[in-house]
Structure formats: C-alpha cells, structure tokens
Structure 1
Amino acid sequence: MNLLERTISKITIPATDLSAEVDRAMTAQDDVDFGRLNDVLLRYISIMGERHPAPPQTSVVISCADHGVAAESVSAYPPETTLNMMCNYLIARGGAANAAANYANANLIVADLGVNTEHTDIHGLLHHSIARGTANMTKGPAMTRAQAIQSIETGIAIANDCANRGDRCILPGEMGISNTTSSAAMVAAFLGLTPEEVTGRGANISDARLAHKVEIVRCALDVNRPDPHDGLDVLAKVGGFELGCIAGLILGAAARRMLVILDGANTTSAALVAHALAPNCVHYLLASHASLTEHSHPHALHHLGLTPMLRLDIRLSEAAGSSIVLRMLERMLSIWETIDTSSPLPPRAAWSPSPARGGGYNSAISASPVNGGSSEHGEPIGGISLPNRSSMSACQYRLDNLAKPIHSLGYLEWISVQLAGVMHCERPPLDTQAALLLITEKKELPVDLARILSSLTDTRGIPVHILTSHDSEDAYAAAYRLARSAPILILGTDERKASTAITDALTAALHGAATAGSLILPGDARADNIAHKTEANSPALTPHLLHVLPDMLTIDTELTAGIAGIFGLDILHAALHVVNDMKTFTETGVAVAIDGAGAGRQVKETLINSTAPI
C-alpha cells in the first residue's frame, strides 16, 4: 500500500455529538444569531473533538509549478513569472501570500513542484520538483499517472510535516502561470460542463485572449478525454503538479484531523481531485470567498457542498481570503468560550449607557452643518469633505503595481483606496485605530451581549462607547469626537426595530463621524439600512461608508450591536496588510502584464544599485 492509499484509509467522518451540543448552546442565545459563522466554529470543533479547542496554529502552503499549456498564450503574464513569484515569496517577501501569512500570524511554506528552471540558492524553498513543468495538455496528457500520484504524495508529506509541528490548520495556495486553464479543464471534466461555463479571465486577460483560452480548454478536453470518475486520470491529463500537491495537502490534513480553508478557484479545483479520491475529506474543508470572474469556482463549490463566507472579488489563490476566515474562526472561538464559561463581565463603565460628555454641538461642530458636500479639491462645503483624491490615486497606482495580477485582490484594494482617501495617506498604517459607538434605548445591555462584545473588542483594543438615543445632538457630538481619534468608526444598535429615536441618533452619528473624516462601518443590519437611507439623502456620506453586511459578509444573519462591523474589521485589516506588506514589480523583479488591464498600467522600473532579487 503506497502513501496515497494509506492516507485515504485513515480519513473518517468527524463525530458530530460535541458540535451538536455547541450548536444548541449557540443558537439558544436570545441576543445574537451568528448564522453561518456558527458553521465555521462547529466544523473546527468537530475536527478537533474538543469542546474548547485552542485557536489553530496555521501554515500557508504555496505550491509552485509551470504549465506546458502556457505555450498557447493563455495568460496575461509570461511563463517566467512563476519563478519570479517563487523568489518573491522567499527573498523579497512581497507577495499576497506574504501579506496573508503576516496578517494570520501563520508560517509560510513555499514548495517547488515543477518550476521550469534550475534553482538551488533560494533559502527556505522546499525542493520537490517532479519535472520542469507539465507537458502541453493540448498535445496529450499534462503528466503521467505516476507523476500525478507523486504530486499528491508530496502534498501529503508536507501536510504530515505541518501536523508534526503542531499545526491544526492549513491554508493552501498556488503559483503557476496558466494554471487557471488547467483548473477550468479539471472542473469541466469532473462536472461535465462546457469550456464556456468554466473558463474565466485568470490574471485579468483581454476579451480576445479569453476567447482563445476557451478554445484551448476545449482542445485539451477533446484530446485527452479525462475520466470524471477517476481523480488521478483528470489530474494527469489536464492538471498541474501544484494542483496535485494541494489535493495531497487536503488528503493529508484530513487524515491527520486538520482543517483546510480553501482560497479561490484553483484550490477548489484541486479539492475536486481530493474529493474524487476520498469523498469524506470534504468534512475537513471550509470555503473562504467566492470568485466572481473564475466561472469554474461556484460550480466546484456547489459540487463539494461548500458555501463561501466572503464576497470580495479576490482572483488569487494565495490565502488572502482564507486568512480572513481563519481570523473569523478565532473570533468565534473567543465568543464560544465566553458563552459557555459564563465568564464574568469585565468592569467597564461604557457597558452602561451614559450621556455624551459635553453633549450637544460645540462651536467647532456647529459651524459646519451636517448636510453638505465638497468641492472637487476636497474642501468642505457644509461640513463633509470628499476623501483626498491625490492620496486615493497614489494608493491605487501602488496597488496596481504590486506584484500580482491587476485588480486581483478585489474589495481589499477598493477598501485600501477608500481608507487612503479618508485618512489623506497613501499607505494607511497597520495600527489604524477603530472604535465602536453603540446606540441603544435600554438602560443597560443584556449581560450575555455585553460579554460577547467584550470578547470581540478587549483583546483587539477597540474602545466601546454606548449612548442612549434620547438626543441626536449627543450622538452627533459623540461620533465626531470618536472619529477624531479613531479613523475607523463602527456604528451599531442592539435594538431589533429601529425606532424614530434610534434612526435619528444613528443618522446624526453618521453625519458627525463623516464630518470628522472617519471611515464608517455600519455594524449590523439595522444600522446598515439606516446608513443606506441617510446617504440617499446626503450623498456626501457615501465615500465615508463601508458597507459590510451583506455586501462582503455572506453569513445569512443580520447580527446586532455592531458585531458585523467588528468582523468587518478583519476584512479591513487584511486590506491594510496588502497595501503595507506587499511589494511592487520594481522592488521584486517580477514580470509585468503583457495583456489585459495590467498591460501598460503595470511597470517595472530599473533601479540604480538595484537590490531586486531577480
């Protein structure tokens, strides 16, 4: 029995008795319905078999390999980009995977499964090269069946190493120019779909190249006729070495009872291989985000029975989305610990509402009416100014020239630009402060809700201010003062129905925070509804609003008391790591786009005394 067979024999369905108990306790909460955030918690508890497991030690594993189909010009980037990026991860340390690992406090592992070059001097690289890239799958199989097994067993071995080091979670990722072509062909083969149904833009290619890519997928399927009932046959005929490695990571993790959080279309297509070989491995998987441009992704997720937590339009598989879900799992573990242990409420005066100190309009605030706009230069007209356009343009230019396909990080890029404009800063710092202003009609919060809020805010240093809704002028002044010290302000209410008083207070708070120049996260469904109505009447508010629920969080619940906004901070902090941790094409030596939206916009300058690694 080989390693693959031994591993498959060890994969069992986790017991659900314990997670069912936890589910009953979580859903019995009167104050908060966590929706599908519960699913993240329950899956991890089932896998670990512990009532209160520790947050998972985690590794981001990036598998790299070249593809022979790159010769068919299906990508916006030249084939040498695979090597460029592999070096970037380990030498310049400026890739999206680096930012994700930094954000998640995870170990970063980079493995060469078949990059088309000799390289023995990259410190930290795992050398598992099977061949110098796959064969061109339009001419015949991409690899032999033996090579397919070897790629999977390499992933299993890496997963075992992770488990032996104490990891409880793996975030798989990949790098391989033209691998979305292989990924599309794999999904088409497994699910019986047409090339048009599964082929996306990959690294943001042009319309003409996309049409060509569809025909290349069609050709590969026609030439090879992969057997959808044989995972190894599909992988061997139209797959890639790095995709086989990810399938092995999933199988190895399942055998060692580790969680795997999928990130994007390519890791999900690899999961189809693992699922075909061992269907029970799906019980060890979570989906992080839905890709809007890779058409194969929703089909593959549906086949696996997985529903993503995030809608961020991320087009990479470098753990940008999965690292956010990992953070959300950590939040849910903290909440569950608080609920189950009835931990004492920490002394905090703010848990009881009190009038805003110095409530009402002071002279500086009252000089600027709340309903206003601004000139094209961002100068105040009526109090609320537009975010700084030069800062936004500079931030966007930097994002476009980070070593990645243009616009491939979706909402994370958009958030970075929005925050840059609000803060008048090209690169908003990682330690940008956030605060929560909660408006209520009650004399005090329910104890369980206060405990939950405490578990979410105390360890992250988020100050919580609670205000009664009796005076909208107090809400305006409180929001203004908070926003002057915290550039990110979460607004929420714990009221199930937004009364006139709540509506007026939240409306005033929105204007106060925007006048002070804050980025505002409506923190629950009621606050978000009021924010939408308010900005319809006051368009100057729009650049200051970041709608999280349900725009970015797809969790089938409305939440309450600003909690959605607190989870939204995890998305925002991931965006801050992107703009701060990633490096440009010039800094890393990675090749720029030769097609699509990135061509001409992305540049690689020649540096004097350059220290670029490539």
Structure 2
Amino acid sequence: MNLLQKTIAAITVPDAALASRVTAALCTRSGIHFGQLGDALARYIALTGERHPAPPQTSVVISCADHGVAAESVSAYPPETTLNMMCNYLMARGGAANAVANYVPARLCVADLGVNADTAGIPDLLYRSIARGTANMTKGAAMTHALAIQAIETGIGLAADCAARGDRCILPGEMGISNTTSSAAITAAILRLTPEEVTGRGANISDERLHHKVEIVRRALAVNQPDPQDGIDVLAKVGGFELGCIAGIILGAAAHHILVVLDGANTTSAALIAHAIAPNCVHALLASHASLTEHSQPHALRHLGLTPMLRLDIRLSEAAGSSIALRMLELMLMAWAATDASPRCCEPFLLPPHRTLPASSATGENTYDIHAPNRTVMDAAQYRLDNLAKPIHSLGFLEHIAVQLAGITGKIRLPSNSRAALCLLSGGEELPAERHAIISAMTAARDIDVYLFPTAMENAECHAAMHAVAADHPLLIIGSMGSDAPAVRTALCAAAEGGALVLPGDAATDHIVREYCVISPALTHYVLHLLPEMITAEIDAPAGIVGILGLEIVHAALHIMNDMKTFTEAKVAVAIDGAGAGRQVRE
C-alpha cells in the first residue's frame, strides 16, 4: 500500500455530536445566531473532538510550480514571475503571503514543486521539485499518472510535517503563472461544465486574452478527455504540480484531523481533486471567501457543499481571505469559551472620557465639521497598492479599505497595530451576562477598548466624548444596545469629525447609519459597511459583535499595506497585459 492509499484509508468522518451540542448551547445561551461562523466553529470542534480546543497553531504553505500552458500566453505576467515571487517570499519577504503570516501570525512555508529554474540558492526553500514545470496541456497530458501521484504524496508529506510540528490548521496557497487556466480546466472536467462557465480573468487579463484563455481551456479538455470520476486522471491531464500538492495537503490534513481553510479559486480546484479521490476529506475543509471574478470557484464550492463566510473580491491565492476567516474562527472559540464559563462575571465597560469641546466646535446635529478625505494621500496610497508585487486590484476590499484609511487619517500607511475601540450606545437596556462575557473576551483578545455610552448622556456630552475616543482610536466600532437613532447619528458624526473609520457594529446600527448617510453624504467616506457587503455569514448579533469580527478585515488590510513590497523592492516582473499594463512599474 503506497502513501496515498494509506492516507485515504486514514480519513474518517468526524463525530459531529459534540460539535452540535456546542453550537446549540452557544446559540441558546447567548441568543446569537452566528451563521456560517457557527458552522466553522462546529467543524473545528468536530475535527479536534475537544469541547474547548485551543486556537489552532497554523502554517501558511505556499506551493510553487510552472505550467507549460504559459507558452499559450494566457496570463498578464511572464513565466519568470513564478521564480520572482518565490524569491520574494523568502528573500525580500514582501508578498501577500508574508503579510498574511505576520497577521495571523503563522509559520510561512514555501515549497518548490516544479519551478522552471535552478532554485538551490534560495534560503529556507522546501525543495520538492518534481520536474521543471508541467508540459503544455493543449498538446497532451500536463504530467504522467505517476508524477500526479508524486505531487499528491508530496503534499501529504507536507501535511504530515505540519502535524508533527503541532499544527491544527493549514492555510494553503500557490504561485504558478497560468495556473488559473489549469484550475478552470480541472473544474470544467470534474463538474462537466463548459470553459465559458469556469474561466475567469486570473491576474486581471484583458478581454481579448480572456477570450483566448477560454479557447485554450477548451482545447486542453478536447485533447486530453480527462475522466471526471478520476481525480488523479484529471490532475495528470490538465493540472499542475502545485495544485496536486495542495490536494495532497488536504488529504494529509484530513487524515491528521487538521483544518484546512481554502483561499480562492486555485485552492478550491485542488480541493475538487482531493474530494474526487477521497470524498470524506471535505469534513476538514472551510471556505473563506467567495470570488467574484474567478467563475470556477462558486461551482466548485457548491459541489463540495461549502459556503463561504466572506465576500472580499480577492483574486489571489496567498491565504489573504483564509487568514481572515481563521482569525474570525479564533474569535468564535473565545465566544464559546466565554459563554460556557462559570461563573459569568466580567469587568464593567469603561465610561467614555469626559471632554468639553472648544466653543467653535459643533454641538448641533447638522453643523459638524467633517472634512473631505485627503485625495492626495488617497492617490498616493492607491499608487503604492497598484505597485505592490501582486496582480493589480487583486486584493479587492482590502485595497479599498487601505485607501479609505489613508484619506481619513492623512497617512499613506496607518500602522498595523493602530488602536481600536468599541463604543456601545445604551438605550437603558441591561446587556445579558453571556453577551457581556462574549464581548469582553473578544475585545480583550484583540486589545480593543470598550466604552459604554449610557442613555442619560446629553447630545453635546455624547458628541464631546465620542470625538475624544475617535481622536485616540482611528478604528472605531459603534454598537447599539437599544439606543435610539439620534444617539447613533450623534456618535457617527462625532466619530467622523474626530477622524476615525467607523464600523457599524450590528445590523440595527448599520440601518441607522445608512439612512443618515443619505442625508449627509460626506459621512459615507468615514463608514465601512460590513453587512452584507463583506461578511456573508448570516450573522444576527447585537451590540457591536459584527464590528469586532469585521475589524479583522481592516487589520488584514493594514498588514497588506505595511508588509508587502513593491515590484521594484521585490524584483518581480510587472504586468504585460490587462489593467496592470502601464500602471505597474518597476523602477
């Protein structure tokens, strides 16, 4: 029995009874419906078999390989970019994967599965090369059946290494120019879909190149006729070494009861391969975010029975989306531990600081001094984002948030550890003990200050206090505890006047904020709406809890802005096609 067969035999279905009891208890005691985040908690608990598992020790594993189909000019970047980026991860340390590893935090592992270059001199590289790239799949199979198995077993070995280290979670990612073409072909083959249904823009290619890419996928499928029921056959004929490695990581992780959080279309297509080989591996998988432009991913996730919890318009499989989902899962573990604790006794929240605004400052509802964001700084921030070593606009909402923060604060790069606060506006209601415990646990874990604004505060006093909090906290969550709309409006205007980015922390607050932004459009520049634009997990949580979770998206954006390097700094080739051509520069 070879390694692959032994691994398949070791994959079992976790006992979900404990997880069901836990999530039912969390919902019943807290009165909060956490949607897909509750499902994520249940899946992790089922995998571990523990009532209160610790937050998972994690590795980000980036598998790299070249593709022969790159000769068909289906990418916006030249083939040498695969090598450039591998060097970036390990030498310049300026890729999105590096920023993600800093943000989680996690160990970053980079493996050469088949880069078409001599990589012996790259420090800390895991050399697992199978061949120097696959063959051109439009002219025959991308690899032999034996090499496909070798790629999968290499991934199984990497998962075993993570298990031996004590990891309980793996965030897989990849780097391989033209591999979205392989992903599209894999999805089309296994799900019996047309090339048009599964082929996306990848690294943001032009319309003309997209049409050509569709035809390349069609040609590869026609030439190779992969068997939809045989995952290894599909991998061999239209896959890539790095995609086979990720499939192996999934299988190995499932055998070791390790959680795998999928990130983007390429890791999801690899999951299709793993699922075709061993369907029960799906119990070790979480879907992090939905892709809006890679058409293969929604089809693949439906086939796997997975529902993403985020929608961030990320088009980069370097664990940017999966890292956010993992951080939210950690908060769910804290929420459950706080709910299940006895006795439930928490420190009271802080009262807001007492400040008197200068006589020139506003105290009336419609006379706040809210400045327009600094357009010059925003343009400079966008220029930096465009020239970070990644496909242009590939980080979606994370890029929008970084630019928005630049305009509000006047700083191109706000520090990754910028202070955050949760301001709870009380309408006189008592916060149930379980919810108090959940909020206390979540905010303590993320070093978020919590201020309680009682209903007795007058408008001017609330305005002065919120302005003071905003001046010290550029990231500000406003949550409602039965507070009325005028109080929310006062808090929103004062926070914007104080120069903070405002996250409406729950559905009730968000509704009031949206209504008031219609009346006062200048406020829209200071607001980051989370529901349903970014968080799609169907959460029904009051008192700012959604904002606490959503703050993870902001922190990820800050790490992207601060930790990534430009094309020049990382010595990576710029785009030669699509939206990035001419806008991305290497000086």
Residue in structure 2 matched with residue 573 of structure 1 by the alignment: 555
- CA change 1:441–1:590 in 2 (3 A) is same
Residue in structure 2 matched with residue 610 of structure 1 by the alignment: none
Equivalent residue letter for 1:602: Q
Q: Which residue, 515, 518, 521 being the options, matches 1:533?
A: 515
Q: Does 1:263 align with 2:263?
A: yes
Deviation at 1:355, TM superposition (A): 8.0
Equivalent residue letter for 1:491: I
Q: Does 1:325 align with 2:325?
A: yes
Deviation at 1:516, TM superposition (A): 1.3
Q: Does 1:475 align with 2:462?
A: yes
- Please give the secondary structure, in 2, of the residue aligned with 1:60: strand
Q: Does 1:209 align with 2:209?
A: yes
Deviation at 1:224, TM superposition (A): 0.6
Deviation at 1:598, TM superposition (A): 0.4
Q: Does 1:166 align with 2:152?
A: no
Structure 2 contact 97–319 (Cα < 8 Å) conserved: yes
Equivalent residue letter for 2:354: R
Listed as ranges, the matches of 1:123-272 within 5 Å are: 123-272=123-272
Residue in structure 1 matched with residue 471 of structure 2 by the alignment: 484
Deviation at 1:461, TM superposition (A): 2.0
TM-score, structure 2 normalization? 0.98
Structure 1 contact 549–558 (Cα < 8 Å) conserved: no
Q: Which residue, 402, 419, 428 being the options, matches 2:414?
A: 428
Deviation at 1:488, TM superposition (A): 1.1
Residue in structure 2 matched with residue 377 of structure 1 by the alignment: none
Q: Deviations over 1:393-419 (max 9, x none)?
A: 111100100000000000001100001
Residue in structure 2 matched with residue 450 of structure 1 by the alignment: 436
Structure 1 contact 64–174 (Cα < 8 Å) conserved: yes
Equivalent residue letter for 1:559: A
Residue in structure 2 matched with residue 26 of structure 1 by the alignment: 26
Q: Does 1:388 align with 2:374?
A: yes
Structure 1 contact 84–591 (Cα < 8 Å) conserved: yes
Structure 1 contact 57–166 (Cα < 8 Å) conserved: yes
- Please give the secondary structure, in 1, of the residue aligned with 2:440: helix
Deviation at 1:34, TM superposition (A): 1.8
Structure 1 contact 469–475 (Cα < 8 Å) conserved: no
Q: State the distance in 2 between where 1:356 and 1:88 align.
A: 46
Q: State the distance in 2 between where 1:63 and 1:349 align.
A: 46
Q: Deviations over 1:183-216 (max 9, x none)?
A: 0000000001110000000000000000000000
Equivalent residue letter for 1:106: A
Q: Deviations over 1:268-321 (max 9, x none)?
A: 000000000000000000000111000001000000000011100000110001
Q: Does 1:439 align with 2:425?
A: yes
Single out whichever of 156-165 and 549-558 deviates more from structure 2: 549-558
- Please give the secondary structure, in 1, of the residue aligned with 2:445: coil
Q: Which residue, 492, 499, 507 being the options, matches 1:510?
A: 492
- Please give the secondary structure, in 1, of the residue aligned with 2:311: coil
- Please give the secondary structure, in 1, of the residue aligned with 2:484: helix
Deviation at 1:551, TM superposition (A): 1.1
Q: State the distance in 2 between where 1:479 and 1:26 align.
A: 32
Q: State the distance in 1 between where 2:210 and 2:251 align.
A: 33
TM-score, structure 1 normalization? 0.94
Residue in structure 1 matched with residue 545 of structure 2 by the alignment: 563
Q: State the distance in 2 between where 1:186 and 1:59 align.
A: 26
Structure 2 contact 439–545 (Cα < 8 Å) conserved: yes
Deviation at 1:349, TM superposition (A): 4.9
Structure 1 contact 476–505 (Cα < 8 Å) conserved: no
Structure 1 contact 520–546 (Cα < 8 Å) conserved: yes
Q: State the distance in 2 between where 1:333 and 1:223 align.
A: 49
Q: State the distance in 1 between where 2:527 and 2:108 align.
A: 34
Residue in structure 1 matched with residue 79 of structure 2 by the alignment: 79
Q: State the distance in 2 between where 1:560 and 1:230 align.
A: 47
Equivalent residue letter for 2:517: E
Q: Which residue, 458, 461, 465 being the options, matches 2:447?
A: 461
- CA change 1:30–1:48 in 2 (3 A) is closer
Q: State the distance in 2 between where 1:43 and 1:355 align.
A: 39
Equivalent residue letter for 2:530: V
Q: CA RMSD in A?
A: 1.4
Single out whichever of 243-252 and 112-121 deviates more from structure 2: 112-121
Residue in structure 1 matched with residue 362 of structure 2 by the alignment: 366
Equivalent residue letter for 2:133: G
Deviation at 1:221, TM superposition (A): 0.5
- Please give the secondary structure, in 2, of the residue aligned with 1:475: helix
Deviation at 1:343, TM superposition (A): 5.0
- CA change 1:216–1:355 in 2 (3 A) is closer
- Please give the secondary structure, in 2, of the residue aligned with 1:366: coil
Structure 2 contact 429–481 (Cα < 8 Å) conserved: no
Structure 2 contact 386–393 (Cα < 8 Å) conserved: yes
- CA change 1:349–1:136 in 2 (3 A) is closer
Structure 2 contact 539–546 (Cα < 8 Å) conserved: no
In the alignment of these two chains, the number of paired residues is 586
Residue in structure 1 matched with residue 315 of structure 2 by the alignment: 315
Equivalent residue letter for 1:410: G
- CA change 1:444–1:229 in 2 (3 A) is same
Equivalent residue letter for 1:104: V
Ranges in structure 2 where 5+ consecutive residues have no aligned partner: none
Q: State the distance in 1 between where 2:114 and 2:585 align.
A: 28
Q: State the distance in 1 between where 2:517 and 2:159 align.
A: 49
Q: Does 1:97 align with 2:89?
A: no
Structure 1 contact 136–142 (Cα < 8 Å) conserved: yes
Q: Percent identity?
A: 64
Ranges in structure 1 where 5+ consecutive residues have no aligned partner: 373-381, 496-500, 606-614
Q: State the distance in 2 between where 1:443 and 1:81 align.
A: 57
- Please give the secondary structure, in 1, of the residue aligned with 2:313: coil
Residue in structure 2 matched with residue 357 of structure 1 by the alignment: 354
Q: Which residue, 381, 386, 393 being the options, matches 1:407?
A: 393
